[in-house]
Amino acid sequence: MYLDFFGLRELPFTLTPNTDFFIDLGGHHRAFEVIQQALASGEGFIKITGEIGTGKTLLCRRLLNQLRHPYVTAYIPNPFLSPDGLMLALAEELAIPVTADNGRDHILGQINSKLLSLKQQGKQVVFLLDEAQAMPEESIEALRLLTNMETGTEKLLQIVLFGQPELNDLLDRSTLKQLKQRVTFSHVLPVLSQEETVSYINQRLAKAGFPGANLFSAKALDEMFAASAGIPRLINILSHKAMLVAYGRGDTRVSHLHVERAVEDTKDVKIERNHMHQQRAGCTWPTLVLACTASSMVTLALSHWFQ
């Protein structure tokens, strides 16, 4: 609605994990380096965790886009699958012609043969699973069996798990002790600092084609950080809504009043703000529930046309 009004080529604050908008800030940069280092060292299991909205899926998509030879990638965005379903999904990603009727042993044998063939070609398979905290326990255990596939000196399959903190609770179960011991590299995605929040907003605007600088006032940026607790997804929701308010009122700059209106409109965002400083010290994460509908945003913009 507001692209021409603000001189933009595309929407800067969508919730789609568009890697063109990946902002290489501290926590995400370090996570990407951790993954690259772990893959280069041949580790079998790598774990990346973070709260809702911190950018795990975007990081995963960027990894998929960036990995080149000798890596071959397999990706499952929603691994809520049975062990057999997980094996079939991996086989499909590797273009192995099997079906559920073939049986698990046959499927595992075919996967092993394909991994060996790729290794002989100088290639390394990386299996990425997003939302890994949703995996059934027996499917997590099946992953351990997959990493048993190896030559005398090298793993045939490396696995990168992306998940919410509940993934740690899942791996802490006594029945998964053997798998947890194989996770040799891990990283926690932090929320953004106030300085990073400002950089995040301004860089996304620039990538979307905004022709000027400082679309958001300094006070608006302060309010945005206070309201979002530095959580990227929440920054996107509130920034988009604040721009809709400014557009609806015919204002060419986003002020703290627009941000406040966006916060008021986002009724299903609940943040325990008093936990922000604890979280930044490595303690409690803010409780976060997100809900944002197209109808509420349109209403937000149009409700101010005649005010």
Q: Is the pLDDT of residue 276 over 50?
A: no
**For residues 138, 140, 145 and 150, what is the CA-based torsion angle, rounded to 10 degrees?**
170
Reply yes or no on domain 26-188 having CATH 2.40.50.140: no
15: CB partners within 8 A, 6+ apart? 233, 236, 237, 292
Q: Is residue 269 very low, low, confident or very high in pLDDT (cuts 50, 70, 90)?
A: low
The chain-wide mean pLDDT, for the chain, equals 85
Q: Is the pLDDT of residue 299 over 80?
A: no
Q: Is residue 73 very low, low, confident or very high in pLDDT (cuts 50, 70, 90)?
A: very high
Q: Is residue 306 very low, low, confident or very high in pLDDT (cuts 50, 70, 90)?
A: very low
Task: State mean pLDDT over 22-39.
Answer: 85
Q: Is the pLDDT of residue 281 over 50?
A: no
Residue 167 has φ and ψ, to the nearest 5°, of -60, -35
Pinpoint the alpha helices (H) of 67-217: 83-93, 104-120, 137-147, 166-171, 177-182, 194-207
pLDDT at position 267, please? Answer: 62
Q: Is the pLDDT of residue 287 over 60?
A: no
Where in the chain are all domains bearing CATH 3.40.50.300?
26-188
- Condensed to tens digits (0 to 9), the pLDDT of residues 177-199 reads 888 888 988 899 999 999 999 99
Task: State mean pLDDT over 273-291.
Answer: 41
- Condensed to tens digits (0 to 9), the pLDDT of residues 123-163 reads 999 999 999 999 999 999 888 888 888 877 788 999 999 99
Q: Is the pLDDT of residue 81 over 90?
A: yes
Asked whether the beta carbons of 121 and 5 are under 8 A apart, the reply is no
Asked whether the beta carbons of 258 and 245 are under 8 A apart, the reply is yes
Q: Give residue for tokens 């790729």.
A: 118
Q: Which of 96-110, 242-256, 270-284, 290-304 has the highest mean pLDDT?
A: 242-256
Q: Give residue for tokens 């049975």.
A: 82
